């Protein structure tokens, strides 16, 4: 697949559209391996990933739903959202926790580490697309909870930036809805 085509045709594909087909381990490994080629200032390589599969997906859904219930005022609580949160990971073939290991020397600003992780995820997203795998990056508030950190086994200096939900799907290619790039550029000189 040509890189331009991959960039222009990649879309967020949501778990409710995923099929029951499991993504082979070799494809998951190939997708994640390409993250290692993202730009990284001072070669800190801050990206870390926790690949969640099988029964652990169900456990993740239970944890996220419990956090939502425990941290939502009763007047704002939605049983529908609670159930959707609980079921989302189980609808996926795999869920990848997107994590960042902060450089212990803090040799670069934290935002550069976050940016490097985001670029690694873009590589992962493009590779998933090239394999016909749908993906969606979500960052629920619960990722900062102690329960979530414990579930993921985060190490000192490591934080979770979200979840990358993945699965095969039957969604047709949809044309991108973007405003013209000319509206976003100022030429200086």
Q: Across the strands, what pairs with 94?
A: 166
Tell me what pLDDT residue 172 has: 86
Whole-number Å distance between alpha carbons of 34 and 172 = 25
Tell me what pLDDT residue 1 has: 63
Q: How many residues does the chain have?
A: 189
Q: What is the CA radius of gyration of the chain?
A: 18
pLDDT tens across the length of the chain (189 residues): 689 999 999 999 999 999 999 999 999 999 999 999 999 999 999 999 999 999 999 999 999 999 999 999 999 999 999 999 999 999 999 999 999 999 999 999 999 999 999 999 999 999 999 999 999 999 999 999 999 999 999 999 999 999 999 999 998 888 889 999 999 999 999
Tell me what pLDDT residue 176 has: 86
Tell me what pLDDT residue 2 has: 87
pTM for the full model? 0.94
Whole-number Å distance between alpha carbons of 115 and 47 = 10
Q: Across the strands, what pairs with 162?
A: 98
**Per-position b or e across 114-133, b if 16+ CB within 10 A of its CB:** ebbbbbbbbbbbbbbbbbeb
Q: Which candidate, 110, 158, 109, 166, places its Cα nearest to that of 136? A: 166
38-170 carries CATH number 3.40.50.2300: no
């Amino acid at each position: 697949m040509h890189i331009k085509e991959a960039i222009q045709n990649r879309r967020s594909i949501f778990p409710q559209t995923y099929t029951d087909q499991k993504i082979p381990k070799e494809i998951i490994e190939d997708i994640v391996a390409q993250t290692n080629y993202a730009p990284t200032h001072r070669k800190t390589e801050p990206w870390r990933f926790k690949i969640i599969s099988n029964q652990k997906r169900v456990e993740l859904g239970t944890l996220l739903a419990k956090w939502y219930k425990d941290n939502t005022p009763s007047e704002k609580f939605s049983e529908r959202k609670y159930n959707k949160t609980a079921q989302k990971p189980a609808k996926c073939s795999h869920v990848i926790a997107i994590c960042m290991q902060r450089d212990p020397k803090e040799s670069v600003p934290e935002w550069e580490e976050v940016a490097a992780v985001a670029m690694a995820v873009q590589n992962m997203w493009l590779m998933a697309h090239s394999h016909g795998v749908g993906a969606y990056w979500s960052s629920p508030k619960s990722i900062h909870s102690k329960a979530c950190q414990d579930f993921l086994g985060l190490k000192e200096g490591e934080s979770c930036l979200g979840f990358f939900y993945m699965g095969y799907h039957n969604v047709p290619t949809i044309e991108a809805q973007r405003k013209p790039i000319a509206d976003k550029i100022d030429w200086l000189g």
